[in-house]
Structure 1
Amino acid sequence: MKKILLSILIFTIISGFQKEYSEKEKVELALKSIFENFENPNFETFERISTEKIYCIICFSNPNLTEEPYMTDRKHFFENFIEKINKFESFKKAKTSSELIIINENNKQSDITAYLTTWEKGELAENHEGEQLGIYLKKINGELKFAGIETIP
């Protein structure tokens, strides 16, 4: 009986130390991981934090509209776009943005899109409506994976 009570006590103590993250905290952790990998590109890490296909509206000036426009595979994205995006002014500003808007979408490209304000209204140019960088996240085996990127407007 003492062993059972001791086991229950140990289980209760251990369970109490497991932190439950809110959705916002999970998104923030995923964004931190994405930003770190873009700053210090490592394909092995990128494979763990991203989906096999990446949606990237800012990567293509002439997308193939007959198939899946703005989609590329993970390796092609990593080799051709990650360094360019890291130098992109809106991406730099997103890393320090204090405004995060989370949209639950549950569509083909993302389950969650995290919008970070990069330019306030009128900041970029007079009468400019402002801009947000959207980072697409897909839930895979309970983890949020990088699935795409866009700017709006």
Structure 2
Amino acid sequence: MKKIFFILIILISCGVQSQENYLEEKKEAIQLIKKLDSLYLSKDEKVNSLFANNIQCSICEIENGYDNQYIIENKKFVQNNLQEVIKLLDYKLLKDSNSTFTKQGTNFVLSYSTANPNKKTEFEGASAIVTLKKENGNLKISSIETIP
């Protein structure tokens, strides 16, 4: 009985601790999306600083093709591909939808709805999945995907 109680205490402590650790990262991720909106609209060159050195973008079009994992260098992504994915990285969409924020290994994953399901048309809805990682102490967008 003591062992079960001890295990429960450890699991509860770990759960509470892990939730506390991610609140700051979640706030930082949301602020990053908000900042991206303002920098993109004002055509500020600092927009590059919000993305990792290499971005995985499975929905981006690339002239020379992809490598095995859809990786694009930061400058090429911002210059050639950001315009096609910026509508997914919309702070208003994020703010108005149910979002989830989790940690996967050393990365953080922010997902949110971009289109609601429609029973009449049998449309399942759509979501954006943004993976972020720490570079030089700051969260940066390292991957952009959609479902479906």
When normalised by structure 1's length, the TM-score is 0.67
SS at 1:82 equivalent: helix
Write the mapping of 1:97-112 to structure 2, written as runs, cut at 5 A: 97-106=96-105, 111-112=107-108
The size of the alignment, in residue pairs, is 124
Q: Which runs of 5+ in 2 are unaligned?
A: 1-22
Write the mapping of 1:1-153 to structure 2, written as runs, cut at 5 A: 22-43=24-45, 45-60=46-61, 63-64=65-66, 67-86=67-86, 88=87, 90-92=88-90, 94-106=93-105, 111-122=107-118, 126-153=121-148
1:38–1:83 CA contact under 8 A, matched in 2: no
Q: Larger % of helix: which? A: 2
Which residue matches 1:5?
Answer: none
Shift of 1:40: 3.0
When normalised by structure 2's length, the TM-score is 0.69
Q: Which runs of 4+ in 1 moved over 6 A?
A: none
Q: In structure 2, how many angstroms separate the alpha carbons of the residues matched to 1:117 and 1:74?
A: 25
Q: Return closer, same or farther for 1:60/1:106 CA change in 2, 3 Å cut-off.
A: farther
Q: Which runs of 5+ in 1 are unaligned?
A: 1-20
Aligned residues: CA RMSD: 2.6
Shift of 1:97: 3.0
